[in-house]
Amino acid sequence: MSHTAEWKVRLHLFEDDDGTTKARVVLDTGTTALTGHGTAHCHPADTNVPEIGDELAAGRAMHDLAHQLLNVAGRDIQGTGAPRTSSPEPAGWPM
């Protein structure tokens, strides 16, 4: 049985007046939307390189989103009556 789906991901980056880079990543599956958040702060002693702040904030937002998505998958697996595993990762395909 083949399955094809297209999920849309939008990543928004912006910087506060205090120099904090914030990221919001939104996953839209067509039936569900999840939002991940991340931030990055430049240490005062470091050189301000905006691209690094963008990378850190975006990576943290995507990490947050990934964690949420894995939790949703775990709950869905439990909802099917599948036995619980001793692994901290949900059952299914290994990562």
> Could you state, in order of their start, the residue ranges of all structural domains in the chain?
8-72
The pLDDT assigned to 19 comes to 85
Q: How confident is the model at residue 95 (pLDDT cuts 50, 70, 90)?
A: low
pLDDT digits (tens, 9 = 90+) for 33-57: 999 999 999 888 988 899 999 999 9
Query: Which residue has 């975006």 as its token pair?
Result: 58
pTM tops 0.85: no
| More confident of the two residues 91 and 23 | 23
- What's the rounded Cα separation, in Å, for the pair 22 and 41? 9
Per CATH, the number for 8-72 is 3.30.160.240
Q: What is the CA radius of gyration of the chain?
A: 17
Share of the chain above pLDDT 70, in %: 87
The pLDDT assigned to 44 comes to 87
Query: Which residue has 């939790």 as its token pair?
Result: 71
